Chains A and B, each alone.
Chain A
Amino acid sequence: MNHRSETALWIAQRASAALLALCVTVHLVTIVYAVRGGLTAAEIFARTRGSVGWLAFYTLFVLAVAVHAPIGLRPVLAEWLGWRGKSREVFVLAFGVLLAWIGLRAVLAVFA
């Protein structure tokens, strides 16, 4: 991969990290609120079903994860397993698609 693509990936990872810092905080606060308040699954669904706000928030969260994690996985694969080259890029791309797929499925499940 050339220096421009590597730099673009680095920027994408930094940008997604900034988003994740915000998303993870909101996510954790939401979990603590839901658990401490003793909300039931039905009560949670009542809040999320049809809520465009939660749909947008968790869609953004999932997409940030799907961008951030595969980029971080690349050097781990290279440095720990010596896996470089095209096959590694295909693998991390597939990993990103998988994260986006299972994440968005879950987001849709609590929305609709």
Chain B
Amino acid sequence: MKVSVWRGDALGSLQTFEVPRFPSQTVLDVVTHIQRHLDPTLAYRYACRVGMCGSCAMTVNGQPRWTCRTHVDRVAKNETLEVRPLRNLPVIRDLVTDMRTFFDKWQRAGGHFDGRSTKADDFARIAPESAERKSIDAGIECIGCGVCYAACDVVKWNPDYLGPAALNRAWTLVADSRDTDSARLRAVAGDAGCHACHTHMSCTERCPKHISPTAGIAGLKRAVAKAEIDGKL
């Protein structure tokens, strides 16, 4: 199989390798084969290999994917693969991107839980069947792989935009009745926040965990609008 791999930084170029095919081979297997047998200088990132850690996302034949759970059979076109680093993030080298902006935006979106109760308080009672809990469940399995961020055109056009993952995280906290961060809605409103989303749904289409950040962002738009009308924004 012919595999073209991005080499160098943003000004780099594609290098082609010939890689043997195996049954049930993943794209991460292919990249690992190149690094172990063909060119040990190839830089890429992975950790768990089982779709939990969110480290190994790359652009495969033009689309962002988690490479450890992407079978070559599903994505190879005429027995060729093109592997590039994730879009919308600075390239450090080869397939490794600098994800600092991505995670800094989680902070900017108020992406941490802010509770006020102590161990002296009783448990918060949230029914598993409640709309609140279901809405949080739908968004909480994010592994922070950056696939949605790379898939999002609004991030490309508006570099300040917080992006689908950070806003999805903010939504799981806004929907959490235990959380007391009143500044979060302000942080996610406006041109860099939920209002910039055009509902293209590329994030939803590409998310390997089948989360819909678009739905979370819509929830934020409703929550922000309600706060604005109530004079609490």
Judging by beta carbons under 8 Å apart, are B228 and A8 in contact? yes
Judging by beta carbons under 8 Å apart, are B190 and A2 in contact? yes
Judging by beta carbons under 8 Å apart, are B189 and A3 in contact? yes
Given contacts A6-B195, A9-B195, A75-B196, 15 further A-B contacts (CB under 8 A): A1-B191, A2-B190, A3-B186, A3-B189, A3-B193, A6-B189, A7-B225, A7-B228, A10-B221, A10-B224, A11-B228, A11-B229, A14-B225, A75-B198, A79-B157
Q: Which B residues contact A (CB, under 8 angstroms)?
A: 154, 157-158, 186, 189-191, 193, 195-196, 198, 221, 224-225, 228-229, 233
Per the bound structure, the CA–CA distance linking A47 and B224 in Å amounts to 44
A28 → B minimal CB distance (Å): 24
Is the C-beta of A4 less than 8 angstroms from some C-beta in chain B?
yes
Per the bound structure, the CA–CA distance linking A80 and B156 in Å amounts to 11
Task: Summarize A's interface: helix, strand, loop or mixed.
Answer: helix
B233 → A minimal CB distance (Å): 6
Contacts of B221 in A (CB 8 A): 10
A102 → B minimal CB distance (Å): 28
Per the bound structure, the CA–CA distance linking A80 and B157 in Å amounts to 7
Is the C-beta of A98 less than 8 angstroms from some C-beta in chain B?
no
B-contact 0/1 string along A49-85, CB 8 Å cutoff: 0000000000000000000000000010011100000
Give the contacting residue for A4; candidates B154, B158, B228; CB below 8 A.
Answer: B228
